[in-house]
């Protein structure tokens, strides 16, 4: 009896829960004149006046996506175009496929998306672009070639890794040993970053990579592996390059503890990536020397703008695919102004979209 | 003299017959190998760091072991840790609560999450696998919903004292882990409730017939699991000085690996505190040692798996040798007769 009562209560809770999660009215594919008043979990829509039905998809809540979303919101308000904003539950291609298929079922015909799996995402793209005529643009990272995505709006990861390494080498006085901290090995971008770091080091004969660590998915792993590498090379490391978000956060935490234990007589020059608040705090405190700021707001804005142009009849110019959204080195000196530099880069790219990347 | 020898031989047999001996041997063997091949392995800085990581692993493993003991499992262990981290971080950075209040709030999160798991498992007679799998999604949603993926970095400096300092060169975290294991060892060996928890996992029907309120024991084990997951989360904040919402993502594998290698039987009813202590070190040493030896980054996971496989095989090898010896001695006895 007790079990029955609990079961009934749980069922009731589920029904109420589902009712709370459901959309007030499901949008349908049509001429686009209808006003959409809601969307699936984590999404928001507004009215639209064209055939364009755009969606932006991020795999999971993450500070990087929060920044990209700002660009999408800015695009929405400045261009007066609806964008369904959806953030998925995890970084898996399976979840991404499910969520995107649901969006397409709602009539979405233009998609700005962060691909979870460089190869796996192509299967999804092929299906929705070839069968359903959906324009797809990658933001943040690229997919493997060939791909049916029209563009990839992202940071040139190899160049960013090269720039970061060169910055560390200059700080080191162009001599010494570097610890190269890579992130997830399954990500093809990691191989590009590795090459970027190695090419920069190869330019300077008195600099060598003393150790490489990789296979890091979580912040805990990052802390443990960086600590181990520091232990293995005490006094021998002159610089650290972190080319991933997780490793950058982990490095900042590890170094503050390292200096407490080992003393700060020998400074290890470090360059991180992205502008996590912890990393920026590390720059303020002098633990981290610089970080490579990507242009996430630009990733959001530019990708949506390209989709808008494609819906207006513009075609991709032959040979054009990758839009380098730029990056800048953030140090203690430009911490307050680097965002303006990135805004200027975004503006330049937006101005050149219809001439450099698209054609009528 | 002969009797003395036999006594000594029996003592050695007794010692080597204990479950935790193989894991201790594996730790010692690996320690010797890594010391020979890396001059940095035995440095105080490295030992201190390994001690801290092992301590966190031990807390995570206890969280899993407590439910495994009653014949269950907790797939939401990492998410409980994550919720605790987000809860404590939120209390300190957003609500500006003092660290002690944030710690209490964090522990409360663990208690409530464990209670929820235990209550659903016992009230609805559902398998712990299904229940904790479902709650892991709920907890992930709560972590993401509250934090939006952002970390909490405004952690008071004093909060990192336990995570970063030590006593007699041994990290406070490791002292805490050892204390927790001693306490649990005592609990399971000398208290009525502890014996009842073990009995529930050993044979639930027999325990019921003996008058043990098995549901109560399962709920208690789940609350304990939640509390230890919460403690691991809080200690992780203390170690890094930051509350990251991604904390706990990779705890599930660690929790099972350390608990099972440490001698916790998956069928339930057995807990080995000494084994868990050394198993925590075993996993940390393998990971640390591979970095020390500058192992190829692409094959690192394969090396990790191989070394762990070898380490856990020691127990089976020991059993096979013992069985052979027993067979031979029985043969000899039969021939004599």
Q: State whether A228 and B164 contact (CB < 8 Å).
A: no
Task: Provide the residue-wise pLDDT of chain A in tens; the chain has 360 residues.
Answer: 555 665 555 555 555 554 444 443 333 333 333 333 333 333 444 444 568 999 999 998 888 898 999 999 999 999 999 999 998 877 788 889 888 988 888 889 999 999 988 878 888 998 899 888 999 999 998 888 889 999 999 999 899 999 999 999 999 999 999 999 998 877 778 888 999 999 999 999 999 999 999 888 888 889 999 999 999 998 899 999 999 888 999 999 999 888 888 877 789 999 999 888 889 999 999 999 999 999 999 999 999 999 999 999 999 999 999 999 999 999 999 998 999 999 999 999 999 999 999 998
Question: Rounded to a whole number, what is the distance in Å from the CA of B61 to chain A's nearest CA?
Answer: 16
* Residue in B48, B240, B300 closest to A215 by CB: B300
Residue B295 has pLDDT above 70, yes or no: yes
Q: Which pLDDT score is estimated for A192? A: 87
Residue B33 has pLDDT above 50, yes or no: yes
Residue B95 contacts A where some CB pair is shorter than 8 Å: no
Least reliable range by pLDDT among A93-97, B52-56, B212-216: A93-97
Residue B136 contacts A where some CB pair is shorter than 8 Å: no
Residue in B closest to A217 by C-alpha: B250
Chain A residues with beta carbon closer than 8 angstroms to that of B49? 224, 227-228, 231
Residue in A closest to B251 by C-alpha: A220
* Residue in B239, B250, B288 closest to A218 by CB: B250
Residue B204 lies in a domain: yes
Chain B residues with beta carbon closer than 8 angstroms to that of A211? 291, 294
- Exposed e or buried b per residue across B125-145, where buried means at least 16 C-beta atoms within 10 angstroms of its C-beta: eeebeebbeebbeebbebbbe
Cis peptide bond upstream of A146, omega within 30: yes
Q: Which pLDDT score is estimated for B37? A: 86
The DSSP result for A304-326, as a single string, is HHHHHHHHTT-EEPTT--EEE--
3-state SS assignment for residue A109:
coil
Q: Which pLDDT score is estimated for A16? A: 52
Q: Which pLDDT score is estimated for B307? A: 77
Residue B236 contacts A where some CB pair is shorter than 8 Å: yes
Residue B49 contacts A where some CB pair is shorter than 8 Å: yes
CB interface of B with A, residues 171-230, below 8 Å: none
Listed residue (B276, B274, B238, B271) closest to B255, CA to CA: B276
Q: State whether A6 and B49 contact (CB < 8 Å).
A: no
pLDDT tens-digit series, residues A31-62 = 333 333 333 333 444 444 568 999 999 998 88
For chain B, the average pLDDT equals 86
Residue B130 has pLDDT above 90, yes or no: yes
Q: Which pLDDT score is estimated for A70? A: 95
Q: State whether B149 and A61 contact (CB < 8 Å).
A: yes
Residue B29 contacts A where some CB pair is shorter than 8 Å: no
Question: Rounded to a whole number, what is the distance in Å from the CA of A254 to chain B's nearest CA?
Answer: 7
Q: Choose, out of A4, A194, A220, the residue to mutate when testing the contact with B (most B CBs < 10 Å).
A: A220
Residue B311 lies in a domain: no
Residue in B closest to A214 by C-alpha: B297
pLDDT confidence bin for B310, thresholds 50/70/90: confident
Chain B residues with beta carbon closer than 8 angstroms to that of A256? 241
Q: Which pLDDT score is estimated for A44? A: 40
State the sign of the Cα–Cα–Cα–Cα dihedral B132, B134, B140, B146.
negative
**Mean pLDDT of the region B216-222:** 94
* Residue in A7, A219, A256 closest to B246 by CB: A219
Residue B47 lies in a domain: no
Residue B329 lies in a domain: no
Q: In what order do the strands lie in the sheet with A54-58?
A: A83-87, A54-58, A110-113, A135-139, A151-154, A322-324
Residue B241 contacts A where some CB pair is shorter than 8 Å: yes
Residue B200 lies in a domain: yes
DSSP A186: T
Q: Distance between CA A96 and CA A115 in Å, rounded?
A: 8
- Residue range of the domain that includes B184: 56-273
Q: Which pLDDT score is estimated for A46? A: 42
Chain B residues with beta carbon closer than 8 angstroms to that of A278? 151, 153, 242
pLDDT confidence bin for B328, thresholds 50/70/90: confident
Which stretches of A150-289 are assigned E, i.e. beta strand? 151-154, 176-181, 207-213, 239-242, 269-273
Q: Which pLDDT score is estimated for A24? A: 38
Q: Which pLDDT score is estimated for B5? A: 65
3-state SS assignment for residue A84:
strand
Question: Rounded to a whole number, what is the distance in Å from the CA of B194 to chain A's nearest CA?
Answer: 28
Question: Rounded to a whole number, what is the distance in Å from the CA of B146 to chain A's nearest CA?
Answer: 10
* Residue in B153, B241, B292 closest to A232 by CB: B292
Given a contact cutoff of 8 angstroms between Cβ atoms, the answer to whether B287 and B31 are in contact is no
ipTM: 0.74
Q: State whether A249 and B242 contact (CB < 8 Å).
A: yes
**Mean pLDDT of the region B297-307:** 78
* Residue in A218, A229, A257 closest to B164 by CB: A257
CA dihedral defined by A296, A299, A305, A310, rounded to 10 degrees? -170
Question: Rounded to a whole number, what is the distance in Å from the CA of B77 to chain A's nearest CA?
Answer: 15
Residue B93 lies in a domain: yes
Given a contact cutoff of 8 angstroms between Cβ atoms, the answer to whether B239 and B173 are in contact is yes
Question: Rounded to a whole number, what is the distance in Å from the CA of A318 to chain B's nearest CA?
Answer: 37
Given a contact cutoff of 8 angstroms between Cβ atoms, the answer to whether B83 and B139 are in contact is yes
Residue B289 lies in a domain: no
In total, how many domains does chain B have? 1
- Domains, chain A, with CATH or none: 26-155+296-359 (3.40.50.2300), 157-293 (3.40.50.2300)
């Amino acid at each position: 009896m007790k079990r029955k009562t609990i079961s009934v209560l749980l069922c009731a809770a589920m029904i109420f829960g589902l009712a709370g999660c459901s959309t007030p009215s499901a949008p349908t594919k049509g001429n686009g004149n209808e006003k959409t008043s809601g969307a699936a979990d984590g999404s928001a829509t507004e009215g639209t006046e064209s055939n364009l039905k755009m969606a932006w998809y991020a795999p999971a809540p993450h500070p990087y996506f929060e920044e990209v979303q700002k660009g999408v919101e800015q695009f929405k308000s400045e261009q007066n175009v609806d964008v369904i904003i959806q953030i998925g539950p995890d970084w898996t291609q399976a979840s991404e496929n499910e969520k995107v298929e649901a969006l397409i079922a709602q009539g979405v015909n233009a998609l700005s998306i962060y691909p979870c799996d460089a190869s796996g995402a192509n299967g999804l793209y092929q299906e929705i672009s070839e069968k359903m005529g959906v324009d797809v643009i990658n933001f943040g990272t690229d997919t493997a070639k060939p791909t049916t995505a029209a563009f990839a709006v992202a940071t040139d990861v190899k160049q960013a890794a090269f720039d970061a390494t060169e910055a560390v080498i200059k700080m080191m006085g162009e001599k010494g040993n570097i610890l190269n901290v890579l992130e997830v090995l399954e990500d093809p971008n990691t191989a590009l970053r590795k090459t970027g770091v190695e090419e920069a080091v190869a330019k300077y004969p008195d600099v060598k990579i003393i150790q490489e660590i990789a296979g890091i998915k979580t912040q805990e792993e990052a802390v443990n592996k960086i600590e181990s590498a520091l232990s293995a090379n005490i006094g021998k490391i002159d610089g650290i390059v972190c080319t991933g978000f997780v490793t950058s956060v982990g490095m900042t935490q590890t170094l503050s503890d390292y200096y407490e234990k080992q003393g700060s007589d020998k400074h290890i020059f470090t360059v991180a990536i992205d502008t996590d608040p912890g990393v920026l705090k590390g720059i303020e405190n002098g633990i981290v020397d610089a970080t490579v700021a990507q242009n996430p707001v630009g990733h959001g804005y530019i990708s949506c703008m390209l989709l808008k142009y494609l819906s207006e009849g513009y075609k991709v110019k032959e040979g054009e695919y990758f839009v380098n959204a730029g990056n800048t080195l953030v140090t203690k000196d430009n911490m307050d102004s680097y965002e303006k530099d990135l805004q200027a880069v975004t503006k330049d790219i937006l101005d050149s979209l219809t001439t450099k990347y698209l054609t009528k | 003299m002969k009797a003395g020898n036999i006594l000594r031989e029996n003592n050695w047999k007794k010692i080597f017959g204990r479950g935790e001996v193989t894991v201790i041997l594996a730790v010692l063997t690996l320690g010797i190998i890594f010391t020979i091949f890396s001059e940095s392995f035995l440095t105080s800085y490295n030992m201190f760091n390994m001690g801290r990581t092992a301590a966190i692993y031990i807390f995570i493993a206890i969280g899993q072991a407590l439910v495994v003991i009653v014949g269950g499992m907790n797939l939401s262990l990492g998410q409980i840790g994550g919720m605790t981290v987000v809860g404590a971080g939120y209390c300190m950075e957003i609500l500006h609560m003092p660290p002690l209040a944030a710690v209490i709030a964090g522990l409360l999160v663990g208690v409530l999450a464990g209670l929820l798991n235990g209550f659903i498992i016992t009230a609805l007679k559902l398998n712990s696998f299904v229940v904790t799998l479902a709650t892991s999604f709920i907890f992930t949603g709560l972590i993401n919903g509250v934090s939006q993926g952002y970390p909490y970095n405004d952690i008071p400096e004093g909060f990192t004292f336990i995570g970063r300092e030590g006593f007699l060169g041994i990290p406070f975290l490791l002292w805490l882990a050892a204390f927790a294991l001693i306490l649990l060892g005592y609990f399971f060996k000398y208290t009525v409730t502890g014996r009842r928890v073990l009995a529930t996992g050993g044979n639930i029907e027999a325990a019921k017939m003996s008058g043990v309120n098995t549901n109560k024991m399962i709920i208690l084990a789940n609350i304990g699991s939640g509390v230890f997951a919460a403690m691991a989360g809080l200690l992780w904040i203390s170690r890094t000085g930051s509350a990251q919402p991604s904390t706990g993502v990779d705890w599930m594998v660690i929790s099972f690996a350390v608990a099972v290698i440490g001698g916790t039987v998956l069928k339930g009813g057995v807990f080995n505190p000494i084994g868990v202590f050394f198993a925590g070190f075993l996993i940390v040493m393998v990971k640390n040692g591979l970095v020390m030896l500058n192992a190829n980054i692409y094959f690192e996971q394969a090396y990790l798996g191989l070394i762990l496989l070898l380490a856990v095989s020691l127990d089976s090898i020991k059993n096979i040798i013992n069985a052979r010896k027993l067979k031979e001695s029985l043969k000899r006895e039969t021939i004599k007769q």
